[in-house]
Amino acid sequence: MPTKLEARFNAGQEAPAAARGWLRALSKDLDPNVLDDIKLLVSELVTNSLRHARIREQDHITVTIIMSGDRVRVRVCDRGIGFVPHPVVPTIYTSGGWGLYFVGRLSDRWGVSRDRATCVWFEVDRASHTAKRTWKMSPSRTT
Amino acid sequence: MNRLNFRTEQRDGATVLELQGEMDISEGDRFQQELFTAEREEPPVLVLDLRGLTFLDSTGLRMVLEADSRARKANRRLAIIPGPEVVHRVFLIAMLDKRLDFIDDLSVLGLDDADQA
């Protein structure tokens, strides 16, 4: 039976750190490598909401985690203006665009959904993230 | 509450900016300001010491990249002492570990106190 956890964070500059702090409670349930990846990606997506969604500080950003035996699904939602994800690979000459690049490289699947809220979701397969990984100078993912 | 602490000092002929704590969007403006302050004297070598960081995301990565670009344009050197694995892997995943000037410690810079006027 999957476990679902959800938390809402005020849409201020402290939101990414607050979300990371909330995720620490998962250290009993998740491998440290999986948790490190999820912390980084949640920090990136919450930061994207703050930067691009034109939400106000009194608005909220909602983070939802669904853990099952083989994967962890994470969703970050805001009520902002939404955005179209660009499959752009950032370069050393473009200082922006790294957040979604990390989502693409570290997650096994990801996407965007829009309903009343804009949500970016990603999934991490536990098996591929549990082993200690070595990042290489290669455009392909090491799994 | 500050999640990030800074210390700037002259050491072995270089200006060293040490970062301690977590670097994310909440500390972006302060980090930017510390960089600008350290760059104001146009030191030939500016070292970012990331060993005290416990977290860094793309906000910090972007600022390091921009500082590197400024240094290259001004013909200055920006060297970086890597942080712990959870921090350095951000540069590895971004495939920037060869583009940026990572050093093990100050001794590899070939500077000494005598250079420091």
Residue-wise pLDDT tens digits, B14-73: 999 999 999 999 999 999 999 999 999 999 999 999 999 999 999 999 999 999 999 999
Contact A77, B54 (CB under 8 A): no
- Domain A3-131 part of CATH 3.30.565.10: yes
Strands of A109-114's sheet, edge to edge? A3-10, A60-67, A71-78, A118-125, A109-114
Collapsed DSSP state (helix, strand, coil) of residue A128: helix
Question: Which pTM does this prediction carry?
Answer: 0.88
Task: Look up the CATH number of the domain holding residue B14.
Answer: 3.30.750.24
Domain, as residue range, for B11: 5-109
Task: Give domain limits for chain A.
Answer: 3-131
In a domain, B116, yes or no: no
Mean pLDDT by 10 residues, chain A (143 residues): 94 96 94 94 95 83 95 94 66 74 94 90 86 51 37
Nearest-CA neighbor of A141 among A121, A118, A120, A125? A125
Q: How many domains does chain B have?
A: 1
In a domain, B75, yes or no: yes
Alpha helix segments (H runs only) across B1-117: 28-40, 58-73, 85-93
Selected residue of A24, A40, A91, A143 to mutate for chain B interface (largest B Cβ count, 10 A): A40
Residue B114 lies in a domain: no
Cα–Cα distance, A123 to A73 (Å, whole number): 4
The answer to whether position B33 is within a domain reads yes
When scoring A41, A51, A102 by the number of chain B Cβ atoms within 10 A, the one with the most, hence best to mutate, is A102
Q: ipTM surpassing 0.95, yes or no?
A: no
